[in-house]
A = this chain, B = another copy of it.
Amino acid sequence: MSDYLTSHRLFYDAVETGDADLMASLWVDDADTSCVHPGATPLRGTAQVLRSWTVLMANVGYIQFFLTDVEVTTFPRGADEPTTAVVSCTENILSGEGLSAEAFSGGKLVCTSILVKEPGGWKFWSRHASPIAELHIEDEDSA
């Protein structure tokens, strides 16, 4: 597995196991990082982002992520040694009681994450997750 996908997977491991130290190790430490939780406005800065995850993880009894539709693009495009990776996926979530059930909006989210290559490995720069509603923009499979 490529290094950015390893970091991407470790992120979910951190949430599933409630490992705040692992979570902290996966983010660039910067005032401009950002995280959009489902239905929320962006959180800015790693301290605020990590605090939100600590609160979420403290309120989740059980949670497990099944990722589907994982798509990756690296930048600069075509470069042998990319510096940035954009990972999008669908998060299919099983969760127990607590805040998570509502916060995660019914168990299915679409997420776009941006990871950057740091001296210490691939780290999250931003994450944008949103609920999948019943309403869909017209999207015919065949025209």
Give residues in A with beta carbon < 8 Å to B: 32, 34, 36-44, 48, 51-52, 55-56, 69, 71, 73, 75-77, 83-84, 86, 88, 90, 102-103, 110, 112, 114, 116, 125-126, 128-139, 143
Contacts and interface: CB of A to CB of B under 8 A. Distances in A.
Given A32-B71, A125-B73, A40 B136 contact: yes
Report copies per complex. Answer: 2
Q: Mostly helix, strand, loop or mixed at chain A's interface?
A: mixed
Given A39-B136, A44-B71, 15 more contacts: A32-B71, A37-B136, A39-B135, A40-B132, A41-B132, A42-B88, A55-B138, A75-B84, A75-B116, A86-B126, A88-B128, A110-B128, A112-B128, A114-B114, A130-B130
Contacts of A43: 137, 139
A73 B34 CA distance: 10
Given A71-B34, A125-B73, A90 B137 contact: no
B88 A137 contact: no
Contacts of A130: 36, 38-39, 128-131
A84 B83 CA distance: 10
A48 B103 contact: no
